[in-house]
């Protein structure tokens, strides 16, 4: 199956570089290019790509606003957004994840890392760069945006005890392999529990599942140490 990618960046040279890199892979193709957030939304609705590789800083409608618009559109539930930007700050990562982004990478990543990131997000996994560590996830979810609406705990009612347990460990930033070791399960079984929880909660990917875990109180972030 070919991963269909839409590029959204205001720098034409950078888009051209990404297109050459992505189109050189047998399992990927670039289906469209956008120079700003508004165009990214328009082209995504027209082409329904698997992934939008989205820059944050663009003229007019920025990448964060475009990401929020795309992730809120039920007709685009199969499309995931991977943020790629020079501005890899905690605030931007927090806003991107709240908006519904599935991943976040700095523009200083290698070509191999970028391609691996696209494949990771396409598979439904969350992706954070080394700078955006698991502690960052807990810190930003510990202090939600002022206008954020917390999800009611009842939303987890359909989950089994094991699904909640696996979801909680995933929310702590643990990989499937680490969760499997903790619970004495196989990584495949852990993956199955993750996907069942995502299905029951209508979470588009692992990143959204993590957000729900904190918003419902399934997991609570510890205060950051000095």
Residue 185 lies in a domain: yes
Instruction: Look at residue 152 in the predicted model and tell me its pLDDT.
Output: 64
Examine the domain organization and report whether 44 and 102 are in the same domain. Answer: yes
Strands (E), the chain: 3-8, 28-34, 51-54, 80-85, 103-106, 127-128
Examine the domain organization and report whether 73 and 175 are in the same domain. Answer: no
Rounded Cα distance, 221 and 138, in Å: 5
Examine the domain organization and report whether 128 and 161 are in the same domain. Answer: no
* Predicted confidence (pLDDT) per residue in 74-123, tens digit: 999 889 999 887 755 556 777 777 788 888 887 778 899 899 889 988 88
Number of structural domains found in the chain: 2
Residue 116 lies in a domain: yes
* Predicted confidence (pLDDT) per residue in 148-166, tens digit: 545 566 789 899 999 999 9
User: Cα separations (Å) of 78 from 15, 50, 87?
Assistant: 23, 7, 27
Examine the domain organization and report whether 26 and 65 are in the same domain. Answer: yes
Highest mean pLDDT among 122-131, 183-192, 202-211: 183-192
Rounded Cα distance, 182 and 173, in Å: 13
Instruction: Look at residue 192 in the predicted model and tell me its pLDDT.
Output: 93
Rounded Cα distance, 148 and 211, in Å: 12
| Strand partners for 30 | 5
Average pLDDT over residues 182-197: 93
Closest by CA position to 123, among listed 182, 207, 56, 202: 207
Q: What is the pTM of this model?
A: 0.69
Instruction: Provide the residue range defining the domain that includes 207.
Output: 153-215
pLDDT at position 226 over 60: no
Average pLDDT over residues 117-130: 74
Q: Are 179 and 105 in contact (CB under 8 A)?
A: no
Backbone region of residue 43 per phi and psi (left: phi > 0; alpha: psi in -120 to 50; beta: other values): alpha
Instruction: Look at residue 210 in the predicted model and tell me its pLDDT.
Output: 79
Q: Are strands 51-54 and 28-34 parallel, antiparallel or unpaired?
A: unpaired
Examine the domain organization and report whether 116 and 166 are in the same domain. Answer: no
Residue 142 lies in a domain: no
Residue 124 lies in a domain: yes
Among 98, 132, 166, the domain boundary falls at 132
Residue 144 lies in a domain: no
* Predicted confidence (pLDDT) per residue in 24-80, tens digit: 999 999 999 999 999 999 999 999 999 999 998 898 999 999 999 999 999 998 899
User: Cα separations (Å) of 148 from 191, 195, 208?
Assistant: 29, 25, 14
Instruction: Look at residue 113 in the predicted model and tell me its pLDDT.
Output: 87
């Amino acid at each position: 199956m070919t991963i269909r990618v839409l590029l959204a960046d205001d720098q034409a040279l950078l888009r051209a570089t990404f297109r050459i890199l992505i189109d050189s892979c047998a399992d990927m193709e670039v289906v469209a290019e956008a120079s700003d957030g508004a165009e990214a939304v328009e082209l995504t609705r027209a082409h329904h790509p698997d992934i939008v590789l989205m820059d944050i800083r663009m003229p007019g409608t920025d990448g964060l606003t475009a990401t929020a618009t795309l992730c809120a559109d039920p007709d685009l539930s199969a499309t995931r957004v991977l943020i790629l930007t020079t501005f890899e700050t905690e605030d931007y990562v927090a806003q991107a994840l709240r908006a519904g982004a599935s991943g976040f990478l700095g523009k200083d990543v290698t070509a191999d890392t970028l391609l691996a990131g696209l494949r990771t997000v396409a598979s439904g996994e969350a992706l954070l760069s080394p700078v955006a560590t698991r502690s960052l996830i807990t810190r930003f979810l510990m202090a939600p945006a002022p206008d954020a609406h917390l999800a009611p705990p009842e939303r987890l009612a359909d989950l089994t005890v094991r699904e909640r347990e696996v979801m909680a460990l995933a929310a702590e930033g643990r990989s499937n392999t680490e969760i499997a070791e903790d619970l004495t399960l196989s990584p495949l079984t852990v993956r199955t529990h993750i996907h069942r929880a995502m299905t029951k909660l209508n979470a588009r990917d692992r990143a959204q599942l993590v957000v729900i875990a904190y918003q419902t109180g399934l997991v609570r972030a510890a205060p950051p140490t000095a």
